[in-house]
């Protein structure tokens, strides 16, 4: 039997598979097919878009859908239109997996739709068993991740800037109370934790194949990894298990080792254990790491109406602890570990005052000189229940206030002028601009204000700020060779001075430059960014 795993790039709350990320689901599916004796081909939606491959396997699993749509820089997840069109050209048995299975029309275009675990469904279909819609066992999970690891070599971003998303457990530790009203994680039942040694083995196998960037992002709260589920709600964290996991992973010498989600209520309820865990993450992970905290709303009425996770006070406490332990600058020019913060609009119980309370919390964070790497604002997606029609206008207003009043001042603190950011991957041209990012969890989007060569790493120096991005020039900037656009974007330089520098080149030293610029403050601001040779 020949099986094709077609990767439409999934995006789920506890799993990212949009490039540069490769999701663990596609690797598990490949492993599950191999375990059932099949030959496996892994292709991505981009190959189909470019007509580089034809679908001709006996069985095709199409992994698709984004349950938490984000803004993507370069790679785009398969759209519904693409899924429907491609479903018509699948020759053998067709299976749909991922968040796309929440859409009845897409499901009806496939022979099978795997609502829970596509790897299990694929394995059952290949073994001619009835499709059970069960979740994989721990044994299957560990075996399939190892067997399917090799497909990373067929990913278009391999070896760089590819990041392997890795799962540490399934489900939510708040499963007993039903969890937050909008979230499907608690529906997965009692959390199933993978042992540190099994996760390390998976990453070692991926390392063997040439992966060197990892995000342990496949879980609802990394602080709760291996927590004692009988110790309360939320359960008490387990610092020893987290240390065993990350100290082991660091021995693989990854270039990037990051994490994703954390529950602020866990951190504030168990500050001692959580601080130990945060110290572990700071010690063993690489810099630029982010713990995305799911507050969703600061409004007590919304928190109560939706059985949310954490209060504004608890979240502020968690943000303080993470800042205290993680805000120092690491060797790539960014903080070692910072919090992110997620808000959801459109939940039950909202009123005119809700966004005011959210803004108050954000102002408290800003005024307390605490850093937030990313503020994620989104509208609720009715995956689990319906919500009354949300007020789009007030959501847009809220968004504008956050971007203008909070995001930009925060970026100025986090990425001050002249800060050197190392190893930025240059990914995309848009008109005369170039965009890039450091590799990892929620990296800042960097605009280089001129065209420069793509698909390579470079260092950059910060020169300006947008609301959700920064502007930076390549570092060191060769002042005698760079474009006039690069000169113009140097702090305090402007068009006139840039033109003067441009026509006076080559300049031999700072003295010659100072004569042209004729302002010691401007020279002071740019002298550490430029070189003359
Ligand atoms: S705490 Fe809430 S949002 Fe987070 S995983 Fe659990 S139910 Fe989902």
Residue partners of 254: CB distance under 8 A and separation at least 6 = 203, 207, 212, 213, 214, 286
Residue partners of 129: CB distance under 8 A and separation at least 6 = none
Nearest CA to ligand 1 atom 2: 180
Q: To which H or E segment does residue 4 belong? A: strand 2-7
How many angstroms separate the Cα of 168 from the Cα of each of 84, 221, 229, 353?
A: 33, 10, 15, 38
Measured in Å, residue 117 CA sits from the centre of ligand 1 at: 19
**What was the pLDDT predicted at 463?**
98
Q: Where are the domains of the chain?
A: 2-126, 159-414, 420-531
**What was the pLDDT predicted at 30?**
98
Rounded Cα distance between 271 and 499, Å, is 56
Measured in Å, residue 368 CA sits from the centre of ligand 1 at: 27
Bond before 85 cis per omega within 30 degrees: no
Nearest CA to ligand 1 atom 6: 172
**Residue among 277, 221, 287, 281 at smallest CA distance from 440:** 287
| DSSP classification of residue 101 | G
Q: Which CATH number fits domain 159-414: 3.40.50.2020, 3.80.30.20, 3.30.365.10, 3.40.50.720?
A: 3.80.30.20
> Would you say the C-alpha torsion 186, 188, 189, 191 has a positive or negative sign?
negative
CB-hemisphere CA count at 13 Å for 6? 29
**What was the pLDDT predicted at 309?**
86
Q: Token pair for residue 27? A: 């690797």
Q: Please give the chain's pLDDT, 533 residues, in tens.
A: 999 999 999 998 889 999 999 999 999 999 999 999 999 999 999 999 999 999 999 999 999 998 887 789 999 999 999 999 999 999 999 999 999 999 999 999 999 999 999 999 999 999 999 999 999 999 999 999 999 999 999 999 999 999 999 999 999 999 988 999 999 889 899 999 999 999 999 999 999 999 999 999 999 999 999 999 999 888 999 999 999 999 999 999 999 999 999 999 999 999 999 999 999 999 999 999 999 999 999 999 999 999 998 999 999 999 999 999 999 999 999 999 999 999 999 999 999 999 999 999 999 999 999 999 999 999 998 888 889 887 888 999 999 999 999 999 999 999 999 999 999 999 999 999 999 999 999 999 999 999 999 999 999 999 999 999 999 999 999 999 999 999 999 999 999 999 999 999 999 999 999 999 999 999 999 999 999 98
The answer, yes or no, to whether any atom of ligand 1 lies below 6 A from the CB of 161, is no
Q: What is the 3 state secondary structure string of 392-413?
A: HHHHHHHHHHHHHHHHHHHHHH
**DSSP three-state, residue 517:** helix
The answer, yes or no, to whether any atom of ligand 1 lies below 6 A from the CB of 188, is no
> Would you say the C-alpha torsion 216, 249, 439, 160 has a positive or negative sign?
negative
**Residue among 306, 204, 305, 219 at smallest CA distance from 252:** 204
Max Cα separation, the chain? 80
Q: Token pair for residue 454? A: 């793509």
The answer, yes or no, to whether any atom of ligand 1 lies below 6 A from the CB of 234, is no
Burial label, 474 (beta-carbon count in 10 A; 0-12, 13-18, 19+):
buried
**Residue among 36, 2, 188, 42 at smallest CA distance from 121:** 36
Residue partners of 263: CB distance under 8 A and separation at least 6 = 173, 174, 220, 221, 223, 224, 234, 293, 294, 309, 310
Beta bridge partners of 530: 477
| DSSP classification of residue 287 | S
Q: Which residue has the tokens 């993470």?
A: 322
Residues in the chain: 533
Has domain 2-126 been given CATH number 1.10.10? no
Q: Token pair for residue 168? A: 């540490």
Please answer whether residues 94 and 60 qualify as being in contact, where contact means their C-beta atoms are separated by less than 8 angstroms: yes
Q: What are phi and psi of 386, to 5 degrees?
A: -85, 150
Measured in Å, residue 231 CA sits from the centre of ligand 1 at: 18
- Ligand 1 nearest-atom number relative to CA 173: 6
Measured in Å, residue 479 CA sits from the centre of ligand 1 at: 51
The answer, yes or no, to whether any atom of ligand 1 lies below 6 A from the CB of 183, is yes
**What was the pLDDT predicted at 184?**
87
Measured in Å, residue 290 CA sits from the centre of ligand 1 at: 17
Residue partners of 236: CB distance under 8 A and separation at least 6 = 227, 228, 270, 273
Q: Do domains 2-126 and 159-414 have the same CATH topology?
A: no
Q: What are phi and psi of 388, to 5 degrees?
A: -70, 155
Nearest CA to ligand 1 atom 4: 220
- Bridge-based pairing of strands 469-475 and 456-465 is antiparallel
**What was the pLDDT predicted at 385?**
86
The answer, yes or no, to whether any atom of ligand 1 lies below 6 A from the CB of 180, is yes
**What was the pLDDT predicted at 13?**
83
Please answer whether residues 116 and 133 qualify as being in contact, where contact means their C-beta atoms are separated by less than 8 angstroms: yes
Measured in Å, residue 381 CA sits from the centre of ligand 1 at: 14
How many angstroms separate the Cα of 532 from the Cα of each of 420, 505, 509, 522?
A: 18, 10, 6, 17
Please answer whether residues 449 and 486 qualify as being in contact, where contact means their C-beta atoms are separated by less than 8 angstroms: yes
The answer, yes or no, to whether any atom of ligand 1 lies below 6 A from the CB of 186, is yes
- Ligand 1 nearest-atom number relative to CA 220: 5
**What was the pLDDT predicted at 70?**
78
Please answer whether residues 426 and 458 qualify as being in contact, where contact means their C-beta atoms are separated by less than 8 angstroms: yes
**What was the pLDDT predicted at 468?**
93
């Amino acid at each position: 039997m020949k099986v094709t795993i077609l990767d439409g790039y999934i995006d789920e709350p506890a799993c990212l598979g949009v490039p540069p990320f490769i999701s663990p689901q596609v690797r598990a599916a490949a492993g599950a097919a191999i375990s059932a004796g099949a030959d496996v081909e892994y292709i991505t939606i981009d190959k189909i878009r470019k007509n580089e491959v034809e679908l001709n396997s006996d069985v095709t699993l199409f992994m698709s859908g984004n349950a938490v749509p984000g803004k993507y820089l370069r790679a785009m997840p398969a759209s519904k239109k693409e899924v429907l069109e491609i479903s018509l050209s699948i020759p053998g048995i067709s299976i749909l997996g991922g968040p796309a299975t929440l859409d009845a029309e897409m499901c009806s275009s496939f022979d099978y739709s795997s609502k829970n675990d596509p790897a299990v469904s694929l394995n059952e279909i290949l073994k001619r068993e009835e499709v059970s819609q069960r979740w994989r066992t721990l044994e299957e999970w560990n075996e399939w991740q190892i067997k399917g690891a090799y497909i990373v070599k067929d990913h278009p971003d391999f070896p760089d800037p590819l990041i392997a998303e890795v799962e540490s457990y399934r489900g939510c530790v708040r499963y007993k109370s039903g969890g937050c009203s909008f979230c499907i994680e608690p529906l997965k039942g009692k959390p199933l934790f993978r042992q540190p040694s099994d996760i390390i083995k998976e990453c070692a196998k991926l390392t063997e194949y040439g992966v060197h960037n990892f995000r342990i992002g496949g879980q609802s709260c990394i602080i709760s990894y291996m927590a004692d589920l009988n110790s309360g709600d939320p359960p008490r964290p387990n610092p020893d298990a987290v240390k065993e996991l990350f100290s082991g992973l660091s021995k693989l010498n990854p270039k990037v080792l990051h994490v994703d989600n954390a529950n602020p209520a866990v951190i504030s309820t168990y500050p001692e254990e959580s601080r130990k865990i945060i110290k572990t993450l700071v010690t063993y992970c690489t810099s630029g790491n982010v713990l995305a905290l799911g507050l969703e709303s600061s409004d007590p009425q919304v928190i109560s109406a939706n059985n949310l996770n954490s209060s504004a006070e608890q979240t502020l406490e968690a943000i303080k602890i993470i800042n205290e332990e993680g805000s120092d600058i690491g060797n790539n020019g960014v903080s070692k570990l910072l919090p992110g913060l997620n808000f959801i609009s459109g939940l039950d119980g909202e009123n005119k005052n809700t966004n005011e309370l959210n803004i108050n919390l954000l102002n408290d964070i800003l005024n307390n000189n605490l850093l937030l790497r990313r503020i994620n604002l989104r509208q609720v997606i009715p995956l689990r229940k319906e919500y009354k029609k949300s007020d789009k206008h007030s959501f847009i207003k809220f968004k504008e206030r956050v971007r203008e009043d909070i995001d930009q001042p925060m970026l100025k603190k986090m990425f001050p002028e002249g800060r050197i950011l190392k190893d930025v991957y240059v990914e995309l041209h848009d008109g005369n601009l170039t965009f890039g990012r450091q590799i990892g969890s929620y990296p800042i989007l960097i605009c280089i204000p001129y065209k420069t060569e793509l698909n390579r790493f470079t260092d950059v120096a910060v020169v300006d700020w947008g609301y959700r991005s920064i502007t930076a020039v390549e570092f060191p900037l060769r002042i005698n060779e760079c474009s006039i656009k690069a000169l113009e974007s140097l702090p305090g330089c402007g068009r006139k001075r840039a033109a003067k520098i441009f026509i006076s080149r080559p300049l031999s030293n700072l003295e010659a430059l100072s004569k042209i610029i004729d302002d010691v403050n401007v020279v002071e601001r740019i002298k550490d960014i430029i070189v003359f040779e």
